A = this chain, B = another copy of it.
């Protein structure tokens, strides 16, 4: 949220949630609290669809969860036996209410609600085929393509889960889905498992969520991750699994561990918080430096800073205070005062850095402008040296699987060498974590990793026809 305004950070596409209650649990407010816990995965829009005896009611709008879901709105949504929810991130200029999810559509066999995290690589081709059959599209979401694909299969299959199973043969790319039919809740993960999705349980209720922190927030116990390629079906008969598309360990996006996920989540068996500390520790080993204090850029660099400090023996310190109230409605400084943008959000702590050689840890550098300003704050506060350490390798390739890196032009690592970046952001030394190490940070994780954005080597073929700006224009002529 704040990132989109003051800082330049990569953004996750979405977070999803689903609940099937057998024991009268309040599905609307469970979805509300769970989406709250997943808010970091998307701040542009959010939505909840509630299923009461087969009748699905939805509410979606632009805004944060507590802004969109007032007590009145939650009450109007009412109660039911199932609910699914979605949070979605925002890119400038395309904040379109029509793209908010969950998608709710009627097809020949009834109603279907769908929440999607990820990005198809063949959406363009699929959309063209559907349009040639007379299909019409209301949104620019891949999710509508998925809905059509399942609907088509539904005409020739006996159940929604069989339709999904068949549709998966043509859906390429990243998708963690929660789907609600009149009588079933279904969770699906693409065969590579690019995006996380886990299952939990509270009493007789089954829940699915992008991250385990959402389970914690409603007091549900973690059961297990949905497996790459797995379809988990919940209905009155219980929980069952279809594993036709399951293969090996898949390739989880490593950036979930580096930055996207909440530190208190456990993904594929590995603690995100621990992974970040380990990234810091590897950094200390790969790029040692003589210094007096290790500090992190709040909030995403703090865990790695702690890991770096422990590994290196250099004391950990609090280098910045972040204004807790900088929110969405914050008025941006005018052009002439751009430098102030960072200052309003972060203040360097002289008491920590004055007269000190400082190791500054951040998780990534996107455009470099924010990093340069932060380094300037440290110098003004009296730091004598600033050694920047980044807990991931440099981005040099596009991501096609659900993040918003949309153009090489904006990525500093595509335009400059490390030496040039060092000068650009004004640090005494600069070190990135190696690709080898980043693959090892998620200790004990039961998966392989997609590191395509660092290496250009993707587990699934990138789109054949790539629109210039990676995401298709709003409406084609």
Interface residues of A (CB under 8 A from B): 1-2, 29, 32-33, 36-37, 39-40, 43, 54-57, 64-67, 69-71, 74, 103-108, 110-112, 128, 130-138, 147-148, 151-152, 155, 182, 213, 216-219, 262-264, 266, 271, 273-274, 299, 302-303, 306, 310, 315-318, 321, 323-327, 329-331, 333-334, 340, 343-344, 347-352, 473-477
Contact = CB atoms under 8 A, between A and B. Distances in A.
B329 A137 contact: no
B273 A477 contact: no
Given A138-B138, A316-B306, A330 B219 contact: no
Given A55-B475, A64-B325, A218-B340, A69 B331 contact: yes
A232 to B, nearest CB: 22
24 contacts: A33-B344, A36-B325, A36-B326, A40-B325, A55-B473, A65-B325, A70-B329, A105-B136, A107-B136, A108-B132, A110-B476, A111-B477, A133-B133, A134-B148, A135-B136, A216-B347, A217-B340, A219-B340, A264-B348, A266-B350, A271-B350, A273-B349, A299-B324, A327-B327
B66 A325 contact: yes
B264 A347 contact: yes
Contact of A475 (B104, B136, B152, B347): B104
Nearest to A55: B475
Given A219-B340, A475-B111, A477-B182, A138 B104 contact: yes
B331 A66 contact: yes
Name the 6 nearest CB pairs between A and B, nearest first: A108-B131, A271-B351, A54-B477, A264-B321, A105-B136, A39-B325
Contacts of A344: 33, 36-37, 217
Given A132-B155, A271-B349, 4 more contacts: A1-B325, A107-B136, A262-B347, A266-B351
Contact of A134 (B133, B218, B315): B133
Given A273-B351, A315-B310, A151 B132 contact: no
Stoichiometry, as copies per complex, reads 4
A43, A344, A350, most chain B CB atoms within 10 A: A344
A351 B108 CA distance: 48
A106 B133 contact: no
A317 B277 CA distance: 10
A323 B273 CA distance: 15
A249 B348 CA distance: 29
A135 B144 CA distance: 11
A135 B132 contact: no
A349 B264 contact: yes
B66 A330 contact: yes
Contacts of A66: 325-327, 329-331
Given A315-B310, A477-B111, A477-B182, A219 B325 contact: no
A87 to B, nearest CB: 10
Contact of A110 (B135, B138, B299, B477): B477
